[in-house]
Amino acid sequence: MLTHGSHQAPVAAFAVLAAGLAACDLPTELPSWNTLWVVPGETMVLDVGQLLPPEVAVTSSAEHFALQLPPLASSRTLGEMCPPCGILSGQVVPKPEFSATTEASLDLPAELVSADLSGGELRITSTHTFDFDPLRPGDDANGHLVVSVSADGVELASDSIDGRSMAFPPGTTLRRTLELSPSEVSGPLRMAVRLYSPAGDPTSIHADQGFSIAAEPANFLLSEARIRVLNQDVASEMETLDLEDVDSPVFDRVEEGAVRLEIDNPWDLEGDFTLQITAPGVSLSKALTVPPGEAEVRVPFTGDELRSILGRSDVRLFMSGALMSPEMGALLRPSDQIVSRATLEAAIEIGGDPE
């Protein structure tokens, strides 16, 4: 959101100038020109929040981006995990040994090219519908369950459950929380669950029974993110300019002027914008380009255009446009913002009769 803070404009300078124009005999042979700063110090701010995809938001402390990701889940049947079980399905036999890996992946938002992950959690639940405990299938037989999470080939977290310390009987749910290590990520999050179940006591084998795992991402925080911005519409809030104290002896002598913008853009983003000044019965629109980095942009106005808003207290000012990044995206940080300091300037004719 674009917001603003401003220093008080020395509009009273117009009153002093008006008194001087009324009280003094001004030379009429040749006009001279002065630049009068009418409204210095108006500041407009474009916060990073307008540039983010729906899954990314700035935290209340403005220290991180919060990344919202959907749950992920995967399941496999006993027949898929244990090939001999497919042959033995429907029989009561000693449980065969098997080892199987169940995988699931979670894509990052399409606009998120890469990010520095400060931390996050995966809250994992595991269930099964087997007629046996895969971690304790016999008196002296103990299996294990290993869960790992990685991105770009780098392991971010892992956890293991040993049958010697925890049972996994039918109808129960195992719950674990994995804390992710800080890392730069640029690809999908991949979860792998390896279940090893040793040979065990006789039990019913049903190949269509299954093993399921689900993971709920939580508290994913990013210190910075490279985001692809494609013609993202942004707009400022409407700001009020109080020009009521500018008297006729002054604005009748305004020949031309401009809104001068000192732009500080910390991102590799640029775009075409419209600067709009409105009042009842008046609508002035001017095109400008917002470039990357620091720049000064002068938006010219004619004398007639400026005279249409001077002397009024109901003048509104705002900007809107669309920003674009390179294909590789733009590096965004939670506290960064585009700051644009606006100054309304006017050229006043000193001497001669106003037209």
* CATH class for the domain made up of 2-54+228-350: mainly beta
The 10s digit of each residue's pLDDT in 13-45 is 444 444 444 444 444 555 455 656 566 657 788
Please check whether the two domains, 2-54+228-350 and 64-225, share a CATH topology.
yes
Fold for 64-225, please state it: Jelly Rolls (2.60.120)
pLDDT of 352: 55
pLDDT of 120: 97
pLDDT of 236: 81
pLDDT of 241: 78
pLDDT of 41: 57
pLDDT of 82: 97
pLDDT of 18: 42
What strands, in cross-sheet order, belong to the sheet with 144-151?
98-106, 189-197, 144-151, 154-162
pLDDT of 253: 79
The 10s digit of each residue's pLDDT in 119-140 is 999 999 999 999 999 999 998 8
- Sequence ranges of the domains in the chain: 2-54+228-350, 64-225
What strands, in cross-sheet order, belong to the sheet with 2-5?
2-5, 32-47, 337-350, 254-265, 293-302
Q: Output the CA–CA distances (angstroms, integers) from residue 240 to 76, 226, 270, 287, 338, in the order listed.
A: 63, 35, 26, 20, 20
**Cβ atoms of residues 102 and 76 within 8 Å:** yes
The structure's pTM equals 0.81
**Cβ atoms of residues 247 and 311 within 8 Å:** yes
Report the phi/psi class of residue 134: left, alpha or beta, with left for phi > 0 and alpha for psi in -120 to 50.
alpha
pLDDT of 5: 44
Q: Which ranges of the chain have pLDDT less than 50?
A: 1-27, 31
- Give the closest residue to 179 by CA, choosing from 154, 151, 162, 159: 159
